[in-house]
């Protein structure tokens, strides 16, 4: 993976703008610690930070190729999983390659097919190509937004980068946040409206979209979307197809010239990846697979089973390590580390995030990077196959809002009346929710309950999954660790999208069809293990730390929170441990301690980024 940045101005000379491009590039050094490159011309300036994964000698960027005397210059962040297929196709069309890198395959694909090249790609990617002949910039992002890509237009300048921080070091871009940005933070956060960059005038290329910028302005096109049609395959064929697609996606994503590992929680999704990866390693004599898990110091002492977190991971991890014969690394995080990494995770994301869920992942990835450069993770299976409680419980299905954020009042009651009236959180959330429902690819004649579940899947794939992918990229790439997500393979997602709910719930189990497709790859007890989410700390010391830290912030006279929250209400909550703020207000893991941590992150963000409210 890498970091990319660019500046296009069709009316000015950018050939001497190395200082600014250098600043943008250095702000992304964590994404690409292995090499850097820059390309300056009259109207286009491009910068690249490289994390070497494939073809160390031949994949340098910005990459330049010529056709008809005109240059095509690429900066690219990502990984193509169908590189060899594309190379063969392009060679048959007369193209010749000088490297084995997917970067060259991507650039030649654009030269051959133009903007339609994205429809040929299987992978995770965000890239920009400056086309000298057309005097145009082409930007594209993968189908589910695994890799980030932000942009802004300031006057005649079009500026883009992998992360917001790189845009903010450009002198034309101010860290301004308006009412809509505040609504993103306090009504939707840590989720974001697809395409929204929170800062005023900053946007994100939406998943499945490409953008062309030229003399006529910005042209946006959606190049891929889910298609709804009746599922014609019988039960056995469906199981066989899922098995094939999952196995193929995992094996494709093991290709690398640097060490590859897997995240292992002992749950269904990560165990399947580990099982297939370990067999692949043995078959191709790649040595022993390394696996990693995270837990918290003394967590077993405080862990209390619940309906959504029925058991701890440790025994199941041990089971899979013995089954697959991996070299496993147990990483434990202590409360002080977890707390102070809240600051680091804000810097990684450029925004407040999922509190300790982010900071623990930041710490986890930091440790993994010491031994590996690429990891495979089990994200997205719950969104694709319907693993979350809100797919199953009537109260969630009937909720006329985002099911992972039903308790909007838990967070908005602490806002000052002025901010509440400014952002109108209920109205803002309702608008974004109904906008999304308008996009759902409907299936004519579908039963009402099945149609509602289709809506639920679409909401999860475009919102909740995007939030988790955003978190995964930013926390891992903060350390130059590339994390791949095989369940996000668009072929698998499209196939499962149309499988009826009764078949997805094979044998009456959540993700039952996936469990059946993985039979023979996992021990039966692991195969039947009830879903348990990403582990969180249960240590009361963490909540105590959040209370004291947030109290200290409120005691400061210069905290930006004073202008946003109702201080009297918040202090009452901080001083009353038995307050009624115990319900999760985002997902399954973010309750009262995470509300405190989120507000701490807002304070850190507004101070650190010198946020100006406009």
List pLDDT tens digits, range 147-199: 999 999 999 999 999 999 999 999 999 999 999 999 999 999 999 999 999 99
pTM of structure: 0.96
Residues 96, 188, single domain; the answer is yes
pLDDT at residue 102 in the model: 95
Q: Determine the structural domain holding residue 463 and report its residue range.
A: 235-386+457-527
Residues 149, 284, single domain; the answer is no
How many CB atoms are located within 10 Å of the residue 314 CB?
A: 17
Measured between its terminal Cα atoms, the distance across the chain in Å is 35
Residues 311, 184, single domain; the answer is no
Contacts 24+ apart (CB under 8 A), 109-113: 110/72, 110/74, 110/138, 111/65, 111/67, 111/72
Residues 72, 100, single domain; the answer is yes
pLDDT at 578 over 70: no
DSSP letter (8 states) at residue 247: H
Residue 204 β-bridge partners? 150
C-alpha 321: how far from its chain's center? 27
**13 within a domain of the structure (yes/no):** yes
pLDDT at 309 over 90: no
Residues 159, 269, single domain; the answer is no
**Phi, psi (5° rounding) for residue 589?**
-110, -15
pLDDT at 307 over 90: no
In angstroms, what CA-CA distances link 286 with 254, 281, 321? Answer: 11, 5, 17
Residues 301, 216, single domain; the answer is no
C-alpha 442: how far from its chain's center? 26
> In terms of pLDDT, which residue wins out, 589 or 275?
275
328-348 mean pLDDT: 96
26-39 mean pLDDT: 96
235-252 helix and 268-283 helix, angle to the nearest 10 degrees: 60
Q: What is the rounded average pLDDT for all residues in the chain?
A: 95
Final residue before a domain boundary, out of 527, 562, 587: 527
pLDDT at 483 over 90: yes
Determine whether 53 is exposed, middle or buried from the number of CB atoms within 10 Å of its CB (0-12, 13-18, 19+). Answer: buried
Q: Are 463 and 189 in contact (CB under 8 A)?
A: no
**405 within a domain of the structure (yes/no):** no
How many CB atoms are located within 10 Å of the residue 607 CB?
A: 15
pLDDT at 422 over 60: yes
pLDDT level of residue 123 (50, 70, 90 thresholds): very high
pLDDT at 58 over 90: no
Catalytic annotation, pick one of 2, 261, 365, 488: 2
Residues 215, 261, single domain; the answer is no
547-576 mean pLDDT: 95
CATH number at residue 68: 3.60.20.10
How many CB atoms are located within 10 Å of the residue 521 CB?
A: 17
**267 within a domain of the structure (yes/no):** yes
Residues near 378 by beta carbon (within 8 Å), at least 6 away in sequence: 263, 265, 267, 269, 270, 272, 273, 485, 487
pLDDT at 519 over 90: yes
> In terms of pLDDT, which residue wins out, 320 or 533?
320
**441 within a domain of the structure (yes/no):** no
**411 within a domain of the structure (yes/no):** no
pLDDT level of residue 582 (50, 70, 90 thresholds): low
Final residue before a domain boundary, out of 527, 551, 566: 527
243-250 mean pLDDT: 98
Q: What is the CA radius of gyration of the chain?
A: 24
Let me know if 2 is a catalytic residue.
yes
pLDDT at residue 56 in the model: 83
Residues 276, 359, single domain; the answer is yes
Token output for 220: 């946006």
| Distance from C-alpha of 181 to C-alpha of 179, rounded to nearest angstrom | 5
**Phi, psi (5° rounding) for residue 411?**
-105, -30
Final residue before a domain boundary, out of 504, 527, 550: 527
Domain count, the chain: 3
116-120 mean pLDDT: 98
520-530 mean pLDDT: 94
Q: Are 409 and 471 in contact (CB under 8 A)?
A: no
pLDDT at 579 over 80: no
Residues 322, 370, single domain; the answer is yes
**24 within a domain of the structure (yes/no):** yes
458-480 mean pLDDT: 98
CATH number at residue 355: 3.40.50.620
pLDDT at 304 over 70: no
Residues 189, 253, single domain; the answer is no
133-153 mean pLDDT: 98
Residues 202, 347, single domain; the answer is no
**419 within a domain of the structure (yes/no):** no
pLDDT at 226 over 80: yes
pLDDT at residue 526 in the model: 95
pLDDT at residue 301 in the model: 77
Token output for 276: 């297939």
pLDDT level of residue 303 (50, 70, 90 thresholds): low
pLDDT level of residue 408 (50, 70, 90 thresholds): very high
Residues 66, 181, single domain; the answer is yes
Determine the length of the chain.
614
pLDDT over 70 for what percent of the chain?
Answer: 97
């Amino acid at each position: 993976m890498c970091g990319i940045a660019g500046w296009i101005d069709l009316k000015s000379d950018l050939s001497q703008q190395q200082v600014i491009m250098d600043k943008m590039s250095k702000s992304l050094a964590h994404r690409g610690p292995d090499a850097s490159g820059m390309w300056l011309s009259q109207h286009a300036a491009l910068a690249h930070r490289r994390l070497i994964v494939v073809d160390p000698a031949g994949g340098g960027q910005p990459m330049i190729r010529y056709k008809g005397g005109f240059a095509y210059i690429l900066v690219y962040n990502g990984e193509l999983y169908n590189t060899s297929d594309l190379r063969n196709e392009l060679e048959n069309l007369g193209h010749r390659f000088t490297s084995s890198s997917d970067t060259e395959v991507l650039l030649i694909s654009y030269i051959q097919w133009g903007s339609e090249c994205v429809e040929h790609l299987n992978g995770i990617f965000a890239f920009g190509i400056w086309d000298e002949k057309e005097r145009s910039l082409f930007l594209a992002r993968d189908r589910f937004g695994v890799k980030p890509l932000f942009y802004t237009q300031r006057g005649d300048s079009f500026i883009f980068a992998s992360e917001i921080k790189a845009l903010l070091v450009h002198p034309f871009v101010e860290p301004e946040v308006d009412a809509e940005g505040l609504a993103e933070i306090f009504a939707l956060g840590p989720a974001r409206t697809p395409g929204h960059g929170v800062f005023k005038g900053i946007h994100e290329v939406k998943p499945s979209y490409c953008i062309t910028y030229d003399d006529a302005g910005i042209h946006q096109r959606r190049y891929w979307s889910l298609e709804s049609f009746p599922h014609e395959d019988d039960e056995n064929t469906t199981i066989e197809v899922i098995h094939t697609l999952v196995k193929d996606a995992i094996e494709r994503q093991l290709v690398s010239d640097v060490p590859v590992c897997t995240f292992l929680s002992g749950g269904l999704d990560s165990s399947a990846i580990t099982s297939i990866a370990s067999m692949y390693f043995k078959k191709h004599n790649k040595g022993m697979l390394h696996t990693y898990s995270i837990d918290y110091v003394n967590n077993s002492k405080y862990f209390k089973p619940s309906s959504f977190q029925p058991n701890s991971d440790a025994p199941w991890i041990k089971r899979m390590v013995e089954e697959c014969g991996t070299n496993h690394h147990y990483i434990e995080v202590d409360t002080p580390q977890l707390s102070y990494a809240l600051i680091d995770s804000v810097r990684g994301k450029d925004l407040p995030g999922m509190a300790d869920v982010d900071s623990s992942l930041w710490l986890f990835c930091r440790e993994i990077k010491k031994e590996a450069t690429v990891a495979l993770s089990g994200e997205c299976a719950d969104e694709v196959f319907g693993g979350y409680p809100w797919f199953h419980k009537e109260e969630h299905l009937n909720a006329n809002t985002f099911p992972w954020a039903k308790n909007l009042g838990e967070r908005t009651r602490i806002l000052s009346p002025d901010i509440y009236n400014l952002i109108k959180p209920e109205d803002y959330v309702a608008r974004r929710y109904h906008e999304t429902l308008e996009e759902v690819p409907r299936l004519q004649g579908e039963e009402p309950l099945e149609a509602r579940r289709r809506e639920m899947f679409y909401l999860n794939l475009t919102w909740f999954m995007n939030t988790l992918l955003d978190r995964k990229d930013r926390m891992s790439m903060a350390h130059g660790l590339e994390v791949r997500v095989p369940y996000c393979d668009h072929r698998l997602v499209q196939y499962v999208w149309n499988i009826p709910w009764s078949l997805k719930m094979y044998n009456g189990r959540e993700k039952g069809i996936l469990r059946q497709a993985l039979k023979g790859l996992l021990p039966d007890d692991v195969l039947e293990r009830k879903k348990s989410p990403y582990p969180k700390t249960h240590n009361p010391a963490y909540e105590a730390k959040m209370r004291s830290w947030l109290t200290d912030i409120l005691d400061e006279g210069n905290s930006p929170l004073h202008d946003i929250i109702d201080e009297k209400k918040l202090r009452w909550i901080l001083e009353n441990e038995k307050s009624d703020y115990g319900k999760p207000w985002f997902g399954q893991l973010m309750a009262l301690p995470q509300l405190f941590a989120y507000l701490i992150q807002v304070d850190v963000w507004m101070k650190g980024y010198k946020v100006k409210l406009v």
